[in-house]
Structure 1
């Protein structure tokens, strides 16, 4: 094929290497044609075998750490560092280089190859995004927030910010002293959605993890215990909440309410604020129903009403004035959940936006109530299966199905 014909049939060329080595001048000198290799092997078989063994012995073994991630509109697609407030919402990864390379001098550096690859663009017939990688260094012993907030980025400049290129893979080789580094993959513009694979190759062992909050339910007594809210919220709700005698009159003979009756009561109490569907009511009932009976008593109902008023109050404070909806961003949905005592990594916040958000990444009050209910139920039930202070739990399949289905 002539070069002219090649240009007419192809637009891009990708050169793939099986390892982070580059073809430097020394390597180029050892490139042979197939005929040269065959001739040399036929005339000097033992010499060639020994050369291959020596080559395998000298070959470096590279360590690789990798993460699959996503840029999600309004949550983790913050764009370029032109706007640091948005940029800080991008996925953050903490890389810890513990040991310098063997051939490095005293106080030497670590060879690091960072590779960012866009996923699923070609198979879904989507155009490639302009992407880049930013690297920041953290001081030894520096206490920082998890994840890093905009205030930290305003005080620290990046060690590296690659050019924004519309290509499938961005790769950069660095020589960094041992220490801690923050790696941030980003798109050129905010709210550009896509999946990516981030890989870091090192000659020595290194660790990398998401620099984000761990899922946690704090101040659980505010949601599920006896003291469910502050005095002001209790007084606010008492004026429109039904009394125990009225509850018992509407409930069944056993003094408990089913989902259908509870739906009517909630629609009466929150008339003009929110219309409760039967599906939402069933989820709220499951949140309060500790013994899986399918109904609630007066005290569980009273706790539920106070929780709902607190959730609605937070939603109204965090919703945007123009739309009346809460944004899926860190300062919207993330701050609202944090104020309610739910700490979720941005990866899970992005999942909430995918599940409950609209096309613009906003969440309505009804969907916010449903999402908060699901989070509360799953975190509360998870804590029943795990030991104190542990983030893992041992649970059998039947128990897991029970918790997942009844929520």
Structure 2
């Protein structure tokens, strides 16, 4: 920090200049303009810094063209020699390959010249290399934003395949080989995994990696892939787990289908990520996950079913129609307040129904938007509640009595009830209804299932 630079910190190169100087021993100096992303006073304090004496050697008109100003804005100039002495690594990047048009490539090449000292190369060699760059074919890019959510999609490394299979899965389809490839050739693929929002939230970087599996042509697989599939298939690629913002790998793969799995080193490590795949030929990528749907269930919401004639278990627990009508209003229907009292009586010792939960259940059954329920809607609701509670009891953990928000807890429970949800929606349910440990109480499970029933 004596020179003003922050150790281990990244700076952006925002400009380069071969600047004239008025000295008898030197006519030009190679300068780079850098910027500290912090945008504050952590700037270079050496030669050619904002207030250094060296700027007196530069003609006034040149300083105007450089827009030189002394301000604590994080931007400063330094010589190329000082740059080489103080920095160890240089990354030349772009937003995506589509930005690499001819003009962008010319700018990229000029920057590479300065960084790699190509200014001393002959002009004809420089032109040859520049022409080679501009002839490159633009790449195609597909990208997805995703998240690792505790108990749901943060499965960790493949040393535990059961947990690993819960990580986000992406299906990549490479349809044709590169133009330069021979018959039966390969596709050039660049996979990039970037951690998001870590610095802005003052969070340390996670140890992350990318795993790639190949799927056989015509292979029938589950969506998403289950642990049994991973036990029978080995990955084509598993990058090292590194604590860096971006992990990038370049591969040459034959046309076909591939599963890409971004993962953290340990389970239950939460974070957001950006997954990008660059290809020379067009490719498709999608989340390899279930689509939201309601499969054939034992009892559908809103069907006016007299459960006393179809389920002996339910009929013994439901009140009789005459008792219902006695408690209901003159129109033979129950409001939310009356329904709350009846449900608390029927499920005494199992669950206490709040007015908010009761209103949600009533809205689920109230298909004609009357604001209340009749006897058959009430009877159907009670049977559904008993079924939901039975599933919850089977899937809850013995130690806590709560259901886990994991794929094997909440996911299996919803699947048994006939609700197929992608894991990203399961993750939202855990965030909305789960506690700090990612577990869901019976009351919240009933509320979540009610919301799903209305949605589907």
* Class of the TM-score when normalised by the shorter of the 2 chains: 0.7 to 0.9
Secondary structure of 1:32's counterpart equals: helix
Q: Cα distance, 1:58 vs. partner?
A: 1.5
| TM-score between the two structures when normalised by the length of structure 2 | 0.74
Q: Cα distance, 1:299 vs. partner?
A: 0.4
Does the Cα contact within 8 Å between 1:228 and 1:306 map onto a contact in 2?
no
Alpha carbons of 1:240 and 1:53: their partners in 2 closer, same or farther (altered >3 Å)? same
Q: Tell me the equivalent position of 1:111.
A: 188
Cα distance in structure 2, aligned partners of 1:259 and 1:26: 67
Further displaced range: 79-88 or 23-32: 23-32
- 1:322 and 2:402 correspond: no
Q: Cα distance, 1:219 vs. partner?
A: 1.7
Alpha carbons of 1:251 and 1:230: their partners in 2 closer, same or farther (altered >3 Å)? closer
Alpha carbons of 1:144 and 1:121: their partners in 2 closer, same or farther (altered >3 Å)? same
Further displaced range: 153-162 or 235-244: 235-244
Q: Cα distance, 1:166 vs. partner?
A: 0.3
Alpha carbons of 1:42 and 1:91: their partners in 2 closer, same or farther (altered >3 Å)? closer
Q: Deviations over 1:38-73 (max 9, x none)?
A: 999999999999979956761211000000000000
Alpha carbons of 1:220 and 1:131: their partners in 2 closer, same or farther (altered >3 Å)? same
Further displaced range: 37-46 or 313-322: 37-46
Cα distance in structure 1, aligned partners of 2:119 and 2:217: 57
Q: Tell me the equivalent position of 2:177.
A: 100
Alpha carbons of 1:23 and 1:226: their partners in 2 closer, same or farther (altered >3 Å)? closer
Q: Cα distance, 1:37 vs. partner?
A: 10
Does the Cα contact within 8 Å between 1:229 and 1:307 map onto a contact in 2?
no
Q: Cα distance, 1:223 vs. partner?
A: 2.3
Cα distance in structure 1, aligned partners of 2:87 and 2:120: 41
Q: Deviations over 1:278-337 (max 9, x none)?
A: 000000000000111100000000000000000000000011111111111111111100
Q: Deviations over 1:229-257 (max 9, x none)?
A: 99999322323321111100110000000
Q: Which runs of 5+ in 2 are unaligned?
A: 1-77
Cα RMSD after superposing both structures? 4.7
Does the Cα contact within 8 Å between 2:302 and 2:367 map onto a contact in 1?
no
Does the Cα contact within 8 Å between 1:320 and 1:326 map onto a contact in 2?
yes
Does the Cα contact within 8 Å between 1:221 and 1:227 map onto a contact in 2?
no
Secondary structure of 1:8's counterpart equals: helix
Q: Cα distance, 1:14 vs. partner?
A: 5.5
| Aligned residue pair count | 379
Q: Deviations over 1:328-387 (max 9, x none)?
A: 1111111100110100000100110011101111111000000000100111xxxxxxxx
Q: Deviations over 1:1-26 (max 9, x none)?
A: 79999999999976534556999999
- 1:176 and 2:248 correspond: no
Alpha carbons of 1:190 and 1:298: their partners in 2 closer, same or farther (altered >3 Å)? same
- 1:28 and 2:102 correspond: no
Alpha carbons of 1:34 and 1:233: their partners in 2 closer, same or farther (altered >3 Å)? closer
- 1:287 and 2:357 correspond: no
Secondary structure of 1:35's counterpart equals: helix
Alpha carbons of 1:292 and 1:41: their partners in 2 closer, same or farther (altered >3 Å)? same
Cα distance in structure 2, aligned partners of 1:28 and 1:259: 67
Further displaced range: 217-226 or 193-202: 217-226
Secondary structure of 1:111's counterpart equals: strand
- Largest Rg, 1 or 2: 2
Q: Deviations over 1:157-187 (max 9, x none)?
A: 0000000000000000000000000000000
Does the Cα contact within 8 Å between 1:86 and 1:190 map onto a contact in 2?
yes
Cα distance in structure 1, aligned partners of 2:402 and 2:161: 24
1:215 corresponds, among 274, 292, 311, to 292
Does the Cα contact within 8 Å between 2:98 and 2:140 map onto a contact in 1?
no
Further displaced range: 279-288 or 216-225: 216-225
Does the Cα contact within 8 Å between 2:189 and 2:279 map onto a contact in 1?
yes
Q: Which runs of 5+ in 1 are unaligned?
A: 380-407
Cα distance in structure 2, aligned partners of 1:169 and 1:10: 19
| TM-score between the two structures when normalised by the length of structure 1 | 0.82
Does the Cα contact within 8 Å between 2:307 and 2:379 map onto a contact in 1?
no
Does the Cα contact within 8 Å between 1:233 and 1:310 map onto a contact in 2?
no
Cα distance in structure 2, aligned partners of 1:295 and 1:171: 57
Secondary structure of 1:195's counterpart equals: strand
Alpha carbons of 1:323 and 1:249: their partners in 2 closer, same or farther (altered >3 Å)? same
Does the Cα contact within 8 Å between 1:115 and 1:170 map onto a contact in 2?
yes
Does the Cα contact within 8 Å between 2:97 and 2:138 map onto a contact in 1?
no
Does the Cα contact within 8 Å between 2:152 and 2:427 map onto a contact in 1?
yes
Cα distance in structure 2, aligned partners of 1:375 and 1:226: 17
Which structure dedicates a bigger proportion of its chain to helix?
1
Alpha carbons of 1:42 and 1:298: their partners in 2 closer, same or farther (altered >3 Å)? closer
